[in-house]
Amino acid sequence: MLKIVPYTRDLVLVGGGHAHALVLKAWGMDPLPGARLTVINPEPMAPYTGMLPGHVAGHYRRDDLEIDLVRLCRHAGARLILTRAIGIDRAQRNVMLQGRAPVAYDLASFDVGITAKLDLPGFAEHGIRAKPLDVYAARWRSFLAAAAQGQVAPDVAVIGGGVAGCELAMAMAFALQAAGVRPRVTVIELGPQISGVTRQARQRMLSAMDDLGIVVKTSARVVEVRADQLLLEGDDPVAASFCVGAAGGFAHTWIAKTDLPQRDGFIEIGADLGVLGDKALFAVGDCAVMPHALRPKAGVFAVRAAPILHYNLRAALSGNTRKTWRPQKNYLKLISLGGQSAIAEKFGFTLKGPLIWRWKDWIDRAFINRLNDLPKMVVPKVTGELATGVAEILAAKPLCGGCGAKVGRGVLSSALTKIALPFDEVVTGAGDDAAVLRQSNGTFQVISTDHLRSLIDDPALMTRIAAVHALGDVWAMGAQPQVGLASIVVPQMSADLQARTLTEITQVATEVLSAAGAQLVGGHTTMGAELTIGFTVTGRKDTMPLTVSGAQPGDVLILTRPIGSGVILAADMEGHAHGRFVAAVLAIMGQAQDREAAVLAPVAHAMTDVTGFGLAGHVKAICEASGLDAELWQAAIPIYAGAQALSDAGVASTLMLVNRTDAPIEGGADALLYDPQTAGGLLAAVPAKQSVAVIDALCAAGCMGHVIGQLTKGNGHVGLR
């Protein structure tokens, strides 16, 4: 019998820097049994800074230089928490997070990089830091497009004349030229010369910038940033419609506020990459400093340190001896020159030209491919003598979390016909979103239960999604949530990790239910093979709750969320969904729908939430219960970004084929119509004459609403136009 190894230690990686990304790749190839891995990073993608100038110049697409942390974490069996670290409590061994409860650690490592800090009057309003990449790149693309159309003057200023600032200046000048605009770019350096390179490399960089028409001002101090110019101390103003701050690298301010040993805000570490004086902490990359071996801030050191960090993390978790890292004194610098030309510098020697750029391009792409080229999920083969039918089931698509591992509508409906008729006080029972009970005072109570096997490895986010999913049945009936009971299965783990996990779950469950006006009143826990979270919820309503049976001819169908979450989550479990798409879907799935319900319930004739049976199945349920036909409008149905391409490529959640068989739509060839949803949108039948007002009210409440079809007299038929 296969024995499951229990979790006993929590390893937390704070930041998605290059070293941590390489650790994740190695960890996935050989995980340490018993260690639970968590990654904390504000974004699902981590940019590879070596390719940023090439992206700005137009040589690389955004995807070319991004490390997909979602896929890497799936590969490594790690949970990814998309938020910022804002502190650390070393006494309690907690990492403090922005907008979320702390995460406990037994061992933690920091790789959060540095930031460009400019405390200049007007910079916050009129300037943009070179980091973070997403913000800078988006602003640059908008400026470039506006300059190319003559809507804004092509005046660019870069504050900071180090290698990074000069590379960005050349990249922006080249991009403007390529767009047919004559650039006016100025580099402003406080020091007497371009820093960080030898004299020979400096001369070659100055020559390249001169060829691009870039003006370099040294020994210049900026005193104020305005919308269209920079004011300099004792010098003429510099025109600047676009101002970039690239003046050196500064430590994150939150680190300076901690009790970590530090120098100028950078975490002090020893030769084993461990934080000085704390055996439970490590730090690597630009956020760290080695007092005994000071080195400049350069990504090459993080890359070279990664194997030692990986080894020492495992050693610290298992009680073994750590290794020592000795950073090299000389390293290769490859500097982009705007176009497809570059400089190579090492040991005081330099080479320049297109061949150097091709060499740099090969190195950069190899690094990205190393982190994004991950093995696909392989289902273990079962051999030997098998019972009849086993081989056929195993040959089908593996069970995934994209549909919450639910059974099909047909199978469920057949089973529900065996349920006894309800008691007098039970108004509706099996077959609707929730059971409706008539109370002695003439009001109504609804009760429903739902649970999900783990879609992701984050108990807190999984709890949020499961709670929203369960509350969807109450909201769909227009009822006010009352109480919730949790049903939790946690993987086998030590008592300490059980306590940490259950604390995270109950905190989030309490938060979600409280925000909905309900209360968590208890539940049941047990240990099993994987994380499973469910809720039994009740709600109340003074008048008869909405069901699927009240729709009227002429009603339009309004949907509040896109479809396609099932296919995206199925692809994520197989390891080939784009991290940005996965993160976007999970963020929406975790949002409550009380505002949507408050707008729709007073005017809807019927309402349900779109979940495991897919859009087609839930439209079919309204049609059959109401004795109507439906026409869906394909072009009006909202779809999650990335879902259509995955579906067209043949990716599907486990339940999709069953849904297609159970609720076929005439003309509905698109598999996404049958894609099972978790925490999907509300689907309401609303009088057509009120639909515009309803959509406007949803928008005013900060919600989405899409009219996707119309109901007519009929007998349960659903078609597509």
Q: How confident is the model over 687-703, as pLDDT tens digits?
A: 999 999 999 999 999 99
- The token pair at 56 is 């700005």
pLDDT higher than 50, residue 397? yes
Q: Burial, 428: exposed, middle or buried (Cβ in 10 Å; 0-12, 13-18, 19+)?
A: buried
Helix 579-589 × helix 565-574 angle, to 10°: 130
Work out the pLDDT band at 431, boundaries 50, 70, 90: low
CA nearest to 58, candidates 338, 337, 463, 456: 338
What residue spans define the domains of the chain? 9-113+251-329+354-372, 123-245, 406-545, 547-721
User: Distance between CA atoms of 582 and 273, rounded to whole angstroms?
Assistant: 33
CATH 3.50.40.10 holds for 9-113+251-329+354-372: no
Of 518, 688, 707, 483, the closest CA to residue 594 belongs to 518
- Which among 129, 335, 150, 342 is positioned nearest to 252, based on CA atoms? 129
pLDDT of residue 118: 77
pLDDT tens for 383-393 read: 677 676 656 55
Distance from C-alpha of 304 to C-alpha of 266, rounded to nearest angstrom: 19
CA–CA dist 25, 371 (Å, integer): 7
Task: Tell me the mean pLDDT in the region 271-277.
Answer: 96
Catalytic residue among 403, 623, 699, 703: 403
Q: What are phi and psi of 318, to 5 degrees?
A: -110, 0
C-alpha closest to that of 284 among 429, 405, 151, 112:
112
Amino acid 422: pLDDT: 58
pLDDT of residue 198: 86
Q: Does this chain's domain 9-113+251-329+354-372 share its CATH topology with 123-245?
A: yes
Identify the helix (H) or strand (E) that includes residue 138: helix 133-148
**Helix orientation angle between 199-211 and 163-178, rounded to the nearest 10 degrees:** 20
Q: Which one is the CATH code of 406-545: 3.40.50.11900, 1.10.3720.10, 3.30.1330.10, 3.30.530.20?
A: 3.30.1330.10
3.40.50.2300, 3.40.140.10, 3.50.50.60, 3.40.50.720: CATH of 123-245: 3.50.50.60
β-strands 222-225, 426-428: how paired?
unpaired
Is residue 2 very low, low, confident or very high in pLDDT (cuts 50, 70, 90)? Answer: very low
Average pLDDT, stretch 83-105? Answer: 96
Q: How far apart are CA 333 and CA 60, in angstroms?
A: 20
The answer as to CATH 1.20.120.1780 being correct for domain 547-721 is no
Q: Which helix (H) or strand (E) covers residue 609, if one does?
A: strand 606-609
Instruction: For the chain, give the number of residues.
Output: 721
pLDDT > 80? residue 571: yes
Contact 67, 371 (CB under 8 A): yes
- Is 699 designated active site? no
The distance from CA 672 to its chain's CA centroid, rounded to whole angstroms, is 22
288 pLDDT more than 90: yes
